[in-house]
Amino acid sequence: MKKIIITVSVLILLALSSCTTMKAVPNEKAIERFIELYNTGDAIRITEMTSIPMLIDGEIVARDSDADSFWNSLAKAGFTLNGTESYTVEPLNPKSSLYFGDSMEVSTFFTKYVPKTAVLVRVEGPGGDFILLLSGRKGPYPFIFGFTGPLL
């Protein structure tokens, strides 16, 4: 009986851990895992973790193929983010959209597509700091909703 309860509990935990949610606040571990994943250059996995539509600077990316091609071009260029210890996390605030641009499209994107649970992760990269807009979770990683940088 005990064995059955343990097996069922493990199965439930496994099922829960593989659940996909767009509305969970990413914790530190999830953010670090995402940066690590990013630095592996695994563009296919990053595309899987990309929420479409996605925002890249002021551009709304509405096609999976465009996101895929962007992540591939970054991987091809050898772009990586500096470490998992030197990042800062900022919760969403009314001015968050300004990191990406000051346009009607960007502000609409934030109100329409970005969950309130999203966070802005500021991390150093080539030429300056970059912002990753992360929320939710699928397995060990959060979804990416936006990417911008280097910040001036």
Partner 1 sequence: MKNIFLIIFTIVIVLTASGQNADLVYVDGWVDIRSGGEVYEALPGDVLRAGDSVITSSDSIAELEQKDRSKIIVKPDSIFTIREIETDSGKETVLATTVGAVSFKFGKLFGKEPILATPSMVAGIRGTELTVYAGEDGSTLIAVDSGLVTVESMGVSVDLVKDEGVEVLPGEVPGEKFSLLGRNLDFSSWNAEKYEDLIAEPILGLEHLGKQLGEYIKKIDSHNDLFNNLKSEKEAAKEDLQKIIDEKGKDQGRIFFNENIHPIDLKTNRLFLNIRYYSLSSLSFRRYILGRLYLDMKGRFIMDSKNPEYIQFLSIYQEKMSLFEDKVVPFLDVNDI
Least separation in angstroms between CB 13 and partner 1: 30
In the bound state with partner 1, the residue whose beta carbon lies nearer, of 91 and 126, is 126
Of 25 and 71, which CB lies nearer to partner 1 in the complex structure? 71
- Determine contact, residues 117/23, Cβ cutoff 8 Å: yes
In a 13 Å sphere around the CA of 145, the CA atoms on its Cβ side amount to: 28
Considering only residues 68 to 97 of the shown chain, the ones binding partner 1 according to CB under 8 A are 69-70, 72-74, 76-79
Q: Minimum distance from CB of 46 to partner 1 (Å)?
A: 13
- Span near partner 1 by CB under 8 A; candidates 10-18, 23-31, 114-122, 124-132: 124-132
The b-or-e profile of 47-76 (16+ CB within 10 A means b, else e) is bebbbebbbeeebbbeeeebbbebbeebbe
Neighbours of 15 (CB within 10 A): 9
Total residues interacting with partner 1, rule: CB under 8 A: 31
Q: Is 56 in the site for partner 1 (CB under 8 A)?
A: yes
> H helices within 41-147, ranges in order?
43-48, 64-77, 104-113
- Binding partner 1 by CB under 8 A: which of 42, 48, 59, 124? 59
What residues have CB less than 8 Å from 150, skipping those under 6 apart?
A: 125, 126, 127, 128, 129, 130
19 binds partner 1 (CB under 8 A): no
Binding residues for partner 1 restricted to 22-51, rule: CB under 8 A: none
Residues found near partner 1 in the complex (CB under 8 A): 56-66, 69-70, 72-74, 76-79, 103-105, 108-109, 111-112, 126-128, 150
